[in-house]
Amino acid sequence: MQSVIASLLFLFIAKVSARSISNDHTLFDSNFKAKLIAEESRNYVGGNLVLNEDEQKVNDILMKYKLEEIDDSFHNPQYFNFSKHYFTYKNDIDKSSVYQIIKKMPKGAALHIHSSLMLHSDDMLLLTYEDHLYACYTGDKLDLQFSENTPARPCPIKWTLLSELRNASDNVQRFDDELRKFFTLYSKDENVYNADIDYSWQRFNTVYRVIKSVISYRPAREKFIYMTLKRFYDDNVMYVEIRSGLHNLYELDGTIHDKIYLAELYQQVTEKFIMEHPDFLGIKFILTNGRSVDIKKIQETLLFARKFKNDMPEIFAGFDLVGQEDKGKRLSEFMPALVEAKGNINYYFHAGETNWLGTTTDENLFDAIALGTKRIGHGYALIKHPSLLAHVLNNDIALEVNVISNVVLSLVHDVRNHPLATYLALGVPVVISSDDPGAWDSDPLSHDFYVTFVGVASRNADLRLLKQLALNSIKYSSLDTARKVRLYEIFEKRWKIFLSNVIEKCG
């Protein structure tokens, strides 16, 4: 690890050499430490932003609260939430004055979001009140299907209308609380907090399958889309890039829609939402395949991606592979197909979502960069590859970091040890996202911003960091120049309103 740190320090020194402290200073120079600290501060993400008068007022308020939180934890480490699992303190976040400010802050865009797991379990539960929903419910397993008649698929017990099961229960609230558990990984079971990565992913995939069984029904998916957009908008997110495999939707009469229909439905609902919320810019799709498929399936999807891009260029962004990276096939296994499509399709690859070093999993980082990925999803293992990190810095490749996801899926326990801390210090282009916020009942973006700001970032990192992270989400989005300019304009307008509101309430 020391050699890795030494290499990173060398990269850091090389990056700032043009502005570095001159060689004639020695450790005995009384100003040497101050100059080193100032140099490090300038290179921190957001370190070069200059705050105006209103921003400085808000920063003073924000940092007062932040320092109180951190210093209290420093002196009472047994109560420091961020060294524990996210589920142990999730419900306490609302009490934080820092969080209350971040919640109101415009955050730009969410660039790493998976379509099926975007929506909070409260809203998923509402969808189970829709008519014609049948359940195959054995107590520990649940399968759901919308149907005019009893589904023909096998069920160990029998298919029953969910409404009948709910009405027959002694306590509807308790019934719904048990049902909700199938829509979220959130748990108060301490065994979950220390689970290994395979167990966490097994639970994750179970939740995914149950949710998908609800939202494969077209009317349910239509409401799902609108409720999701509303959740993101209320969290002050103005644009979303969604990763999706675009599966088929069905109707009660047996109609099965083709895959492109789902993209069209998202576009229709989003256009309606924008009519009602004109300062929301919209969505784009990153088409996906699972990592377990064969190269023929990848070729078919990339062919479909070309058609998607040609027919709906306004909402098509690119392509990615998804799923548990340690268990899935490596990018190199699909290289012929990926190289062939490289000139036509932009890539936004997941890579380095692992704790292992020197495995085929973290080799995905090399392949993703060699394939010209526009951004890197997670990039958790990148810290262990100094030459790749230098390439990321030199070529301005953004990392899509999802801190809470990395905790829930068992990559990191104490977020102070998350590599994001180093990425921020080195000035690596970072965007903060939430991956699958519905799967852990988190805010669409505010919880990840809060945990990053208080739990991961330097104690001294201030409003400049938060603003730069929001600006980064616009800069590194897949939007064309004109739409980026529009999003910057929306952000600046909402940023001024945010500043005024904080000053009025707390100043």
Report the catalytic residues.
Answer: 353, 378
Furthest CA-CA distance within the chain: 84
Helices (H), 318-360: 335-341
State the amino acid at position 120 in one-letter form.
H
Residue by residue, DSSP assigns 427-469 as: T--EEE--BSGGGGT--SSHHHHHIIIIIIS-TT--HHHHHHH
HSE (side-chain half, CA atoms, 13 Å) at 286: 28
* Residue 485, number of CB atoms within 10 A of its CB: 12
Whose CA is closest to 113, among 261, 281, 283, 259? Answer: 283
Per-residue CA distances from 171 to 167, 178, 273 (Å): 9, 11, 36
The torsion angle over the Cα atoms of residues 438, 443, 448 and 454, rounded to 10 degrees, is -140
Helix, strand or coil, per DSSP, at residue 32: helix
State the amino acid at position 157 in one-letter form.
I
Whose CA is closest to 234, among 448, 437, 446, 86? Answer: 446
**Separation CA 368–CA 349 (nearest Å):** 6
* Residue 292, number of CB atoms within 10 A of its CB: 12
**Separation CA 300–CA 312 (nearest Å):** 18
State the amino acid at position 380 in one-letter form.
Y
CA 253 to chain centre: 36
Whose CA is closest to 138, among 222, 231, 210? Answer: 210
**Separation CA 136–CA 429 (nearest Å):** 47
**Separation CA 372–CA 257 (nearest Å):** 34
